[in-house]
Chain A
Amino acid sequence: MDDNKIEWIKCNKCGFIQYKSHLRCIKCKNNKFEKINVVGTPTLISYTILYAPPMEFRDKKSYALGIVEFENGIKALGQISSQKGLQIGMKLKPKFEKICDDLDGKEIYTYIFVPIT
């Protein structure tokens, strides 16, 4: 899978890049956006390893979650494929996979981040 699937939006008035759910720009309230894709390999800003998962993830004993920032300023939160050797500032690569079945039994596919070694 390619990393172009991570799509955010850019305000066409002030240029602020933000998550795609905003109907009005989180900076300037404008309501026109263009879609933009992530650029380059993201850097890890912070991470945690969660040992008390919510019910959707009860089959897992623990998993890592991180916030990353791409080269064009897009930030994203997702699970990290490894729990070992994580460090703020390290480079990762997005990958799409099934992360769980939700409580209605629906398969959830999304991006996770894989450390580049």
Chain B
Amino acid sequence: MKSVAIIGVGHTKFGRSKEGLLELLCDASLQALENSNTYADNFDSVYVGAMCPGKFNNYTGIASALVDRINLIPAAADHIKNGPASGGSAIKAGYQAIASGMSDLVLVVGGEKMTHITTPGFITSIVATITHHEAERLHGVSLPSFGGLLTRAYLHKYNAKLEWLDDIAIKNHKNGSLNPYAHFQKTIQEFMESAIKKGKGNWANIKEFLKDNSRNPIIADPLRLFHICPISDGAAALVLCNAEIAKKYCDTPILIKGIGQATDTHIIYEREDITTLKALRTCSDLAYKMAKKTPKDIDVAELHDAFEILEVVESEDIGFFKKGEGAKAASEGLTQIGGKIPINPSGGLKARGHPLGATGVAQVVELFWQLREEAGKRQVSGATTGITCNFGGFGNNIVSILVERM
């Protein structure tokens, strides 16, 4: 099997964009071609990760449209769909193409364009179609409702405090404030100060601000707005190549050392314990084994905090903390930049934003910058090894990618 290197990346600003999906994908892709010095090269294959371009943007055949617009013809082009883990699955497809020897130069791009949809409940309904249709969806579940069910079960089982989840949101917004590509580049302190300036109220501190239903409404009890990621537009891209030729393009390639994907029951209550993500345990184990690493070797992680409880549960099931200890560890600062194991220096889904198909790719782009010491004010000092968790469905199809400086 060939080794696979990342030689360049692209990332649009996440948030509300006036551009369409195809324009966002082209923007991130062309940045990645430029960044990897492959602008004049012929690509063997292209993988586009996007969850719902058909429903959200009336696009069928988005990968074929992309290769035409940026002329990567005659590269093989595929659209990869795995819900919110479409980006991770697209990277896996790119990895396999090179590892197998079928391709030497591959573009992977993930994106989603969502904020133009203003009908209340429409996005919620479309995203909820990934749940089990008879056992779950018919009853009116949404992804945030699963976040609420998981949060309450976790707090009850481990005697954890909801305010520890606030601490994770505070950390992720602080990190996002240092990331020029993030949807929200504002700390929660700054959100509070701007609300005070606008005469919306007065609060002694951010803890009081976060308890105020008018500024931080309950969405899926006990989860409030600031525990939940936003709906965003954006795209992120990677250029992958056979590691043997990586130095031809780039001085500091980043290697994909391990990659794993695993599934779990479609119905969440059919899991022995809803607070354990067995699919993440399995797929991160595959990634660690392939890379001959353990959780102790990891310097920085990008986890899928669509709801802040997920960052907690993932930080446990990926092997950083014992079961039941992740929330407390985060509240004690262990996952901050400079802490024992920095998690989501990018701001995570909470602050960087969550354009569904883009997220899994953006996680690896962030690690690329971190491992090359290009992450600016949010740099994790001396990081050489990182891992991701890209969460599809509600934990029933997860991709984990382990990367290291070459």
Contact = CB atoms under 8 A, between A and B. Distances in A.
B142 A54 contact: yes
B135 A77 contact: yes
B140 A76 contact: no
Nearest to A46: B153
A77 B269 contact: yes
Interface string A94-105: 000001100100
Nearest to B129: A54
Interface stretch (B2-10, B162-170, B215-223, B296-304): B215-223
A43 interface: no
A63 B140 CA distance: 9
Contacts of B199: none
Contacts of A21: 132, 134-135
A18 B134 CA distance: 13
Contact of A79 (B139, B149, B156): B139
A38 interface: no
Give the interface SS of chain A, mostly helix, strand, loop or mixed. strand
Contact of B122 (A19, A55, A63, A110): A55
A50 to B, nearest CB: 5
A52 interface: yes
Given A46-B153, A52-B144, A65-B145, A77 B136 contact: yes
Interface size class of B (residues with CB under 8 A): 35 or more
A78 B139 CA distance: 6
Contacts of A77: 135-136, 139, 141, 267-269
A54 B124 contact: yes
Contacts of B140: 50, 53-54, 56-57, 63, 65, 79, 99-100
Given A46-B274, A77-B139, A52 B124 contact: yes
Interface string A73-93: 001111100000000100000
Interface residues of A, number: 33
B159 interface: no
A27 B243 CA distance: 41
Given A47-B149, A48-B221, A53 B124 contact: yes
A48 B145 contact: yes
Contact of A54 (B128, B134, B135): B128
B266 to A, nearest CB: 8
A103 B128 CA distance: 14
Contacts of B156: 46, 88
B234 interface: no
Given A18-B270, A67-B274, A110 B139 contact: yes
Interface string B256-280: 0000000001011110001000000
Interface string A30-53: 000000000000000111111111
A70 B382 CA distance: 52
Given A18-B270, A46-B153, A51 B220 contact: yes
Contacts of B122: 55
Contacts of A48: 145, 148-149, 151-152, 220-223
A30 B151 CA distance: 34
A108 B152 CA distance: 28
Nearest to B124: A54
B269 A67 contact: yes
Contacts of B217: 51
Contacts of B136: 77
Interface string B99-142: 00000000000000000000111101100100010111011111
Contacts of A103: 125
B122 to A, nearest CB: 6
A108 B148 contact: no
A77 B138 CA distance: 10
Contact of A50 (B132, B144, B268): B144
Q: Give 10 closest A-B pairs by Cβ, nearest first.
A: A48-B148, A55-B121, A46-B153, A49-B221, A54-B125, A55-B125, A75-B269, A54-B124, A50-B145, A46-B149
Given A50-B220, A52-B121, A76-B135, 17 more contacts: A19-B135, A21-B132, A21-B135, A47-B152, A48-B149, A50-B221, A51-B218, A51-B220, A52-B124, A53-B142, A54-B142, A55-B120, A56-B140, A65-B140, A65-B149, A67-B268, A77-B269
